[in-house]
Amino acid sequence: MTRLRTTLAATAGLALLLTGCSHDSTTDTATSASTSTPAAQSPAYTGQLPDRPADGDPVSCTYNPSGDAARDVTAPPSDDVAAAGTVEVTVATGVGEIGLTLDRAAAPCTVNSFVSLAEQGYFDDTPCHRLVTSPGLQVLQCGDPTGTGTGGPGYGFDTEYPENVYARGDAQLRQPVIYPRGTVAMANTGRPGSNGSQFFLVYEDSQLPPTYTVFGTVDEAGLAVIEEVAAEGDDGSMAAGGGAPNRAVQIESVTVGS
C-alpha cells in the first residue's frame, strides 16, 4: 500500500499515512530520481522545501512495469522529455473545477506521466478516495480509478524534486519540511520506483519528509473547492488516518492545456 507519511516532531514519531498504489513488492527504501545524479552535498535544513530546480534540457525517464493497470493505458514516451516550462491542467469534478499548474523543471518525468495519463482519459470518472484533515497533514488524494487506494497505471517511476536535491542517505530525508498550501505532489510507498498515478492536493500547509515528488500547484479557486469538501470531513474509514470525503469528489475529466 502506498503511504504518505508526516512526522510533526521527530521525537514524537507521529505518523499519518495515506494509502496509495503499488503492486511492486520487490523494491526497498526510497532513492533519488533516475533523471538526475544525487547532489554531492545536501542543502542546509530550514524546515522548508529546498529551492526548486531551474529550467533544464530535455531528459530521459524510466517507467518500469509494476503490477496490473487499473485502466488500460500505455506508459508515456521516455525520451526527450521536456524539463522546462509549465503545463496548465483543469480538473473538472462534481463539486467544482480545480486548476493545476504543472512544473516540468521540478519533475519532468512526473509531469510527463500525468499529462500522458490525462490525455488517455485515465483520470476520467474516478473518485478522490481520501481526505485527511489532521493538523499538520491536510490533503485530498486522487488518481486511483478503483477508489481503493491500491490502483495504479501498471508502471512505476522514481521520485524527483525535492528528494533528488539531497545526497543519498541524508538524514534530512527523514526530517519534516513544509509542503505549502497549494502544492500538488505524488503519493509513493517509500520504495524506489513506486510513483504511479496517485497524487495529493495540499489545502493547508502540511509537514512531510521531502520524499514526495512536488510537481505543481493548485489555483485559488481550486483550493476553495477543496476547502469546502474538507469542511464536511471524512468517514474515518482509513486505519492510518482520514477516509473517504463525506462530500464525494468525483473527477469528471482532466483537460491538459498549454
pLDDT at 36: 42
Residue from 4, 2, 1 nearest 211 by CA = 4
pTM for the full predicted model: 0.87
Residue 201 pLDDT class (50, 70, 90 cuts): very high
Percent of the chain at pLDDT > 90 equals: 78
pLDDT at 9: 31
Task: Tell me the per-residue pLDDT of 26-78, one tens digit each, with 9 for 90 and over.
Answer: 222 223 333 444 455 889 899 999 999 999 999 999 999 998 999 999 999 99
What's the grid cell of residue 169?
A: 542517505
To the nearest whole number, what is the mean pLDDT of the chain? Answer: 87
The answer on pLDDT for 183 being more than 60 is yes
Task: Tell me the per-residue pLDDT of 100-141, one tens digit each, with 9 for 90 and over.
Answer: 999 999 999 999 999 999 999 999 999 999 999 999 999 999
- Phi, psi angles (nearest 5°) of residue 21: -100, 135
Residue from 18, 108, 127 nearest 63 by CA = 108
CA distance 113 to 251: 18
Who contacts 72 (Cβ-Cβ below 8 Å, separation ≥6)?
none
Give the ranges where the chain is alpha helix by DSSP (H).
108-119, 220-231
Amino acid sitting at position 72: D
Architecture per CATH, domain 64-256, reads as: Beta Barrel (2.40)
What's the grid cell of residue 40?
A: 554531492
Dihedral over Cα of 244, 247, 251, 252: its sign = positive
